[in-house]
Amino acid sequence: MAQKFVLKTLLDFASAHSLRGYPGDCAKLHGHNWKIEVQVVGSQLNDIGMVIDFKEIKRHAKLVVAELDHTFLNDHPHFKEVNPTAENIAVYLFKEIERRIQTPEVTMHSLTVWENDRNCVTYSESI
């Protein structure tokens, strides 16, 4: 069996949203302190014994998260047409971070979005 290393880093951001078409309170403007778990996978270690430096993962992820931090998500160009649910936020973040971080040695594994301490969604294209 081939070796695999899954690296995880955590980030957070705050934003507000309202869910279009939702038949309850979440249709109203409300906010979250989101927690994001970014996981990447690789199988080869570099000459100093790393798949990728955690700082490099976080640098790419912070650039994407910064676009959403302290904003009204419904105003973001991506979420003008796509409802800003936790699921759709996870897909957006996964694809945007993947676009920046993807190399032959490192690929996105999954991305988890926590909207609070009890509720989260994980998106992956490889599970």
In the annotated binding site, the residues are: 17, 30, 32
- For tokens 């957006």, what's the residue? 92
Beta-bridge partner residues of 16? 31, 72
How far, in Å, CA of 43 to CA of 46, rounded?
10
Burial degree of 75 (CB within 10 A; 0-12, 13-18, 19+): exposed
What tokens appear for 108 in the block?
A: 């996105």
**Annotated binding-site ranges for Zn(2+):** 17, 30, 32
98 is catalytic: no
Q: Which residue among 56, 115, 120, 125 is the active-site one?
A: 115
Q: Which residue among 26, 56, 109, 125 is the active-site one?
A: 26
120 is catalytic: no
Q: Which residue among 70, 87, 96, 105 is the active-site one?
A: 70
> Nearest to residue 97, comparing CAs of 42, 122, 60, 67?
60
Q: Tell me the longest C-alpha to C-alpha distance in the chain.
A: 54
What tokens appear for 21 in the block?
A: 């078409």
109 is catalytic: no
Catalytic residue ranges: 26, 70, 115
